Structure 1
Amino acid sequence: MSTVLPFRALRPQKNYVREVAALPYDVFEWDEARKIGELNPRSFLHVEKSEIDFSEDTDGDDPRIYATAKSNLERLVREKILFKEGKNCFYVYGQRQGDHDQYGIVACVSIAEVDAGKIKKHELTTVVKEQDRIRNIDTVNANTGLVFCVYSAREAIHRIVEGIIREDPEYDFTFDHGVAHTVWVVRDDQKIEAITKAFLDVSALYIADGHHRVAAAAAIARIRRERNALHKGIEEYNYFMAGLFPHDQVRIMGYNRAIKDLNGLSEEEFLRRIQERFVVSPNVTLKSPSTPLEFGMYLRGKWFKLQVRESELGQKDLIRTLDVSLLQNNVLAPILGIHDPRADKRIKFVGGIRGVTALEKMVDSKEFAVAFSLPPPSLTQLMAVADSGQIMPPKSTWFEPKLLSGIFVHLLD
């Protein structure tokens, strides 16, 4: 059973939505976000990633960063660019990228269900990133970005959404990477009740993107609960804002890797070590694998296909047979000496949306020695890992298209 609630979103006026909307804060390097912010003072990056309003050498813990996020949000409200919905609503959020469509319900979800294990995770959070989101959300007093959640598709929810998207949308615009974003506001009480009831048949929600947002929201709820002598459990801080999408519409792309050096090996020695564990095919044209147990490798201006040898598969458990685990356990750790990819500065993770061209440029620039393209894990694998209570290796999943920030804000009071 999943409890979802309508809420009064703080959101842009129609004529400002494209100007305000921004990709999530964590897909950008500082300099990329800074350029966007300099060109657009209304970009929501000024709220979600307000360090762009300071010099690059500013301490990431500087309280001015979070105070600026708050003042930037207040400015958007004061200038009547954002307004608060008049009543509690659900929202249907549709995205189209090429021939891919997905439609989700934007709602508030109870943090109590995180503690009860009904909202399932597949990756670990880091203390630094979690603290950053805690300070941002607590200072701004709002969930400023959507948590991307997946649920096992239900026909009842599908029928409701199909009916809603036949109506005229509130927003309809095209953004980065050619993605069309369309939003419908669900104000009708009968439809709100139908959505609420339909989700009672959803046994669990799976976090796709937004583990740090969820962890931060849960931490803030605990803090405010302890401070509030009149706590009733229905305060806005007891909920976080999420986009809820059916599993059969969601798309995962590969999360690729680039490595700065060959760990003291020559290219010939490195290839020999690789051939001990993989069947290596040189000069391939298929640079981005789509099937499990295969990888693309870009080295000295050429692409190679790596196929895992049966002898290297080992025990067939959920985690060890993931492609990211096979690459980590057969190449990155034993050959390249990268034992902790979360902390090692020699590895760079490259989201699948950037394509293999980005990998080629990184290696051709000589800043990186080798790059690997990986097939994406399946939603079935992700859900199985989460159901088992296990954790996927770092940077296993790249969901695309991304849910934009700035279209919806959930105020905590």
Structure 2
Amino acid sequence: MAKVIPFKAVRPTRAIVGLVASRSYQSYTQPEREARLDYNPFSFLHIVNPGYKYDKVISGKERYKLVKNRYQEFKEDGIFVKDKKASFYIYRIVDRDNQIFNGIVAAVSVEDYKNDVIKKHEDTIQSREIIFKDYLKTVGFNAEPVLLTYPDNENISIIISEIQKQRAEFEFTTTFRDTHYLWQIDNENDIRVISDAFAEMDVLYIADGHHRSSSSALLQEELKADNKNHTDKDTYNSFMSFLIPESELRLHEFYRVIKDLNGLTKEEFLIELDTIYRIENRGIMPYKPSKAHHFSMYLDGEFYSLYLRKNNYEFKTSLEVLDAQLLYDTILKPILGIDDLRNNTRIDYLSGKKDIVNLKSMIDSQEFQVGFGMIPATIDQMKAIADDGLKMPPKSTYIEPKLRSGVTIYEF
């Protein structure tokens, strides 16, 4: 039984929402960030990068306090306004490729996360959890919803379709040519129908945002312990999420690029691969695999296809079937000596949304020596791994949609 809760969002005004909304801080190049900070006083980047005002890099607890100050200034200046009524928010994205994403921004229960009603499929790093928990505790808000997915539901779809016949509260287009829309649902009957529909679901799945979820759980435990008057209605018992039906979720792969061959020559490396893969040299033309358990490889100016020799390999778990795990089990760990995917500096990742030519460029630059491509994981694989209590390797999926920060904010 999933608990999905309306909340009073803090939102930009209609007139400037397009100026406020931003991508994640790390996704901008330095010149892009500086341009937005120099010429757009409303950008949410001013909040998350408060040291720019002083031409100084500020980190740690000092930065957290300034983030809170800058956020309060945005509220004082009327850039952000808090809704007076707890609501759900329909969020729609139409991207430049005309892919459409529809979902509901809402609060979900930390207890559901702890009790595995909200299921995970990726490991988290404890140090990152603690850092983000401390950040949340200081600033008192969260501006990036966790992406959750649920089985397509007719009752929810009907309400979304009906509400979208009305004029959107927000409508803005980004420089990426994605158009974003938001509608507020504060009608009690609609809220009840949506809440009841989610309550009938046994589980929800985290698609993106495992560290944000786990940090929210740590925050709840800490604030609960500090609060002598704690009740179940305290807002820190929930965290903000964007819930999207499974049919509209998009999964892409990540390429792997590795800096060296672990002391092997090119010929020795290919011989090692030959024990478990059938190898074909594809020459200089870019090659991408089209089936599970097939990989593309770029090495020394040439593309290769790798086909798993299935008669020599047995899959025992839902995780082992995943291509990202298969690559790790058969090549990255035993041949290239990469045991710790999270901390090894010899490996890096590139979103499969980018052309495989980008992978070629990274190898040709000689910063990396070999790269691998694969087909995307499926939603069914992601769910099966979560249901079995297993965890995918890092960067197993690049998931869309990607929401903008600062459009809906959850305070606690």
Normalised TM-score (structure 2):
0.93
Residue 303 in structure 1 maps to residue 287 in structure 2: no
Q: How does 1:350-369 map to 2 (within 5 A)?
A: 350-369=350-369
**Alpha-carbon distance in 1 for matches of 2:337, 2:203:** 38
Tell which deviates more after alignment, 270-279 or 248-257. Answer: 270-279
- Other-structure match for 1:223: 222
Q: How does 1:364-403 map to 2 (within 5 A)?
A: 364-403=364-403
- Other-structure match for 1:202: 201
- Other-structure match for 2:91: 93
**Alpha-carbon distance in 2 for matches of 1:178, 1:291:** 31
Q: C-alpha deviations, 1:159-182, integer Å up to 9, x for none? A: 221212222112222225432221
Compared CA separation, residues 317 and 263, structure 1 to 2 (3 A): same
Q: Aligned AA for 2:359?
A: L
Q: How does 1:286-325 map to 2 (within 5 A)?
A: 287-325=287-325
Q: C-alpha deviations, 1:357-413, integer Å up to 9, x for none? A: 32122111111111112211100111111111111112111102312211110010x
Q: Aligned AA for 2:61?
A: P
**Alpha-carbon distance in 2 for matches of 1:261, 1:404:** 37
> Is contact 1:8–1:410 with CA below 8 Å preserved after alignment?
yes
Return 5+ residue gaps in structure 1 as ranges.
none
> Is contact 1:69–1:136 with CA below 8 Å preserved after alignment?
no
**Alpha-carbon distance in 2 for matches of 1:405, 1:40:** 15
**Alpha-carbon distance in 2 for matches of 1:171, 1:299:** 48
- Other-structure match for 2:23: 23
Return 5+ residue gaps in structure 2 as ranges.
none
Aligned-partner SS, 2:94: strand
Aligned-partner SS, 1:320: helix
Q: Aligned AA for 2:332?
A: L
**Alpha-carbon distance in 2 for matches of 1:278, 1:39:** 53
- Other-structure match for 2:245: 246
Q: C-alpha deviations, 1:186-212, integer Å up to 9, x for none? A: 122221121111111121111111111
**Alpha-carbon distance in 2 for matches of 1:321, 1:227:** 44
Compared CA separation, residues 231 and 146, structure 1 to 2 (3 A): same
Aligned-partner SS, 1:14: coil
- Other-structure match for 1:63: 61
Normalised TM-score (structure 1):
0.92
**Alpha-carbon distance in 2 for matches of 1:4, 1:350:** 34
Tell which deviates more after alignment, 152-161 or 42-51. Answer: 42-51
How far residue 137 of structure 1 moved from its aligned partner, in angstroms, is 1.1
Compared CA separation, residues 267 and 39, structure 1 to 2 (3 A): farther
Q: C-alpha deviations, 1:272-329, integer Å up to 9, x for none? A: 3223221222226563334311112122222222221113532331111110011111
Aligned-partner SS, 2:200: coil
| Identical-residue share of aligned pairs (%) | 34
How far residue 30 of structure 1 moved from its aligned partner, in angstroms, is 7.5
Aligned-partner SS, 1:248: helix
Q: How does 1:70-89 map to 2 (within 5 A)?
A: 70-89=68-87
**Alpha-carbon distance in 1 for matches of 2:25, 2:409:** 14
Q: How does 1:253-292 map to 2 (within 5 A)?
A: 253-283=252-282, 285=285, 287-292=287-292
**Alpha-carbon distance in 1 for matches of 2:339, 2:226:** 42
Tell which deviates more after alignment, 310-319 or 231-240. Answer: 310-319
Aligned-partner SS, 1:223: helix
> Is contact 1:48–1:136 with CA below 8 Å preserved after alignment?
no
How far residue 36 of structure 1 moved from its aligned partner, in angstroms, is 5.0
> Is contact 2:298–2:370 with CA below 8 Å preserved after alignment?
yes
Aligned-partner SS, 2:405: coil
Q: How does 1:181-196 map to 2 (within 5 A)?
A: 181-196=180-195
**Alpha-carbon distance in 1 for matches of 2:406, 2:384:** 32
Tell which deviates more after alignment, 28-37 or 294-303. Answer: 28-37
Q: Aligned AA for 2:314?
A: G
- Other-structure match for 1:335: 335
Q: How does 1:39-188 map to 2 (within 5 A)?
A: 40-48=40-48, 60=59, 62-97=60-95, 98-175=97-174, 177-188=176-187
Compared CA separation, residues 280 and 179, structure 1 to 2 (3 A): farther
**Alpha-carbon distance in 1 for matches of 2:349, 2:337:** 16
Compared CA separation, residues 246 and 343, structure 1 to 2 (3 A): same
> Is contact 2:286–2:356 with CA below 8 Å preserved after alignment?
no
**Alpha-carbon distance in 1 for matches of 2:37, 2:317:** 45
Q: C-alpha deviations, 1:81-121, integer Å up to 9, x for none? A: 11111211111111222142121110011111112210111
**Alpha-carbon distance in 2 for matches of 1:34, 1:342:** 30
Aligned-partner SS, 1:399: strand
